[in-house]
Chain A
Amino acid sequence: MKAFTYLGRRLGRATLLLICFYFAASGANAQNPDLFKMQDEQDKKDKKETTDITTSIFKTTRIVNGQSIENTGAGILDLKISHRFGMVNTGSYNFFGLDQATMRIGMDYGITNRLEIGLGRSTYDKEYDGFFKYRVLRQSTGKAAMPLSLSIVSTGVLRTLKDQPEPYSIHYSDHASYVNQILLARKFGDYFSLQLAPTMVHYNIVPNTSVPNDLYSMGTGFRLRLSHRVNLTGEYYYQFQRLTGYYNSASVGFDIETGGHVFQLFFTNSTGINERSFITQTDGRWGNGGVHFGFNISRVFTVAKHK
């Protein structure tokens, strides 16, 4: 009997010790977790909690002639040289348009990643233009999902070509026109992006009273990725009211990436390069070969380094 109680006491003590060890060990587990398991949990949590902003909806800040949803990054200066040769249907005498040229030279700058400003000068009508583009919404997936990107663009254009003599007096302000656009864009998967651009062009002066000062149009554009460096692009602006003698702008081309540049090669029926001139004053027609071969060269410079 005595031996039994002794054994019982010993057993009780051993159990107590075991329990103590058990808690010590589990305490150690709490103190020393497996980092790999913790990382697995973190990854799962991050997948749910992070918002991934869709990048590279278009390859550069212009689709062909018009603005794309993309902005120049903060602190980046983008020097753009846009060049259109003459019309292909001018024949071999003009070397299918290559004898002539229309140009725009411009500089865009990213103040923030959402706000871009730009200035340019075009040979067509000797026009100066300035614009700002602000990204309101950014397409994203994850926690804060956004189905599309939205930007607003406002462009002012000043014509400095000398006026033709008119029976009425022309004020300096009559040389100005304004373009307001809303850009709506979405990237579908990795290969295709689409953009819609409801547009209003305002002229301070129009040829006659039957023409409204505000002309509305709908711009459309796409990008199709063909390979890592080559993209097919297209752009079309449908005008709800047209100035007489002018057509809708339609362009198709390629974006080619070469390291620090994006090189755009295309055919377009527009001669002018700023928004006002290509949207409302496209004088060529695809139907009879009234198209220009053209290219845009973009070279970016880092002005202010971002953190």
Chain B
Amino acid sequence: MLSLMSLSACLVLHAQKLYSTKTGQIKFNASSPLEHVVAINNQVDSKMIDKTGQIVFSVLIKSFKFENQLMEDHFNENYLESSKIPKAEFRGYITNVSSIDFSKDGRYPVNVDGTLTLHGVSQKVMTTGVMEIAGGRPTISGTFKVKVKDYGITGLYIGEKIASEAEISVNCKYE
């Protein structure tokens, strides 16, 4: 009886899966009526575990591409100081992961709770998104806002040419 239990425990544990991607997308939008401030990063590194809902995102600040190269230089040098702080990270959990059936195609709402470390400053972030399962592959998408000043990012133009709240859109397709 006990051996049977341990066997089934083994089976359940083996069913856990780690999903990952290195080509996730994060879009950053801090546009104001005066200026179009948008950047896309297509080299987002993200991992997630289906059973525990543990999820991490890691991005290189220098991989954010702007249309305007001068803006990209300013973003790196004056605002995010990427030569000193090259990465931004998110570590957290999908709190309602038990309601997702990873083996069944469909769209599931997700609640994500964790810590965003940006410009060397960590802040709690709670947001919602959608997980879409298609052919056994999950895709997570969601949008949340961050107050630029909360992360110690300062500058003359924040609140004028640059919005004081930046919208972060995530779209990651996992393997």
Q: Is the interface of A mostly helix, strand, loop or mixed?
A: mixed
Is A39 an interface residue when CB atoms closer than 8 A count as contact? yes
Tally of contact residues, B, Cβ under 8 A: 45
Whether B156 contacts A36 by the Cβ 8 Å rule is no
Residues of B within 8 A of A262 (CB): 70
A35-B55 contact given A55-B73, A55-B77, A56-B77, CB 8 Å threshold: yes
**Binary A-proximity of B28-69 (CB < 8 A = 1, otherwise 0):** 000000010000001001011101101110101010010111
Residues A226-250 near B (CB distance < 8 A): 228-229
Query: Could you say which of B68, B78, B91 contacts A228, with CB atoms under 8 Å apart?
Result: B78
Residues B57-103 near A (CB distance < 8 A): 58, 60, 62, 65, 67-74, 76-78, 83-84, 86-87, 89, 91
Residues of A within 8 A of B58 (CB): 39, 42-43
B90 to chain A, nearest CB (A): 10
Query: Could you say which of B13, B54, B74, B84 contacts A36, with CB atoms under 8 Å apart?
Result: B54
Residues A22-60 near B (CB distance < 8 A): 24, 27-28, 31-36, 38-39, 42-43, 46, 50, 52, 54-56
Is A95 an interface residue when CB atoms closer than 8 A count as contact? no
Choose among A43, A56, A72 the residue with the greatest number of B CB atoms under 10 Å from its CB.
A56
Query: Could you say which of B16, B55, B86 contacts A32, with CB atoms under 8 Å apart?
Result: B16
**Binary B-proximity of A183-194 (CB < 8 A = 1, otherwise 0):** 000000010000
Residue of A nearest to B37 (CB): A259
Residues of B within 8 A of A76 (CB): 69
Is A211 an interface residue when CB atoms closer than 8 A count as contact? no
Query: Could you say which of B35, B69, B83 contacts A300, with CB atoms under 8 Å apart?
Result: B69
**Binary B-proximity of A72-91 (CB < 8 A = 1, otherwise 0):** 11001000000000000000
Residue of B nearest to A38 (CB): B47
Is A257 an interface residue when CB atoms closer than 8 A count as contact? yes
Whether B13 contacts A43 by the Cβ 8 Å rule is no
Is A171 an interface residue when CB atoms closer than 8 A count as contact? no
A32-B83 contact given A17-B2, A300-B69, CB 8 Å threshold: no
Query: Could you say which of B47, B49, B83 contacts A55, with CB atoms under 8 Å apart?
Result: B83
| Further 13 A-B residue pairs, CB within 8 A, beyond A73-B69, A261-B70, A300-B68 | A27-B14, A31-B13, A39-B89, A42-B45, A52-B83, A55-B83, A72-B69, A259-B70, A259-B71, A260-B68, A300-B70, A302-B68, A305-B67
- Interface, chain A (partner B; CB < 8 A): 17, 20-21, 24, 27-28, 31-36, 38-39, 42-43, 46, 50, 52, 54-56, 72-73, 76, 190, 228-229, 257, 259-262, 300, 302, 305-307
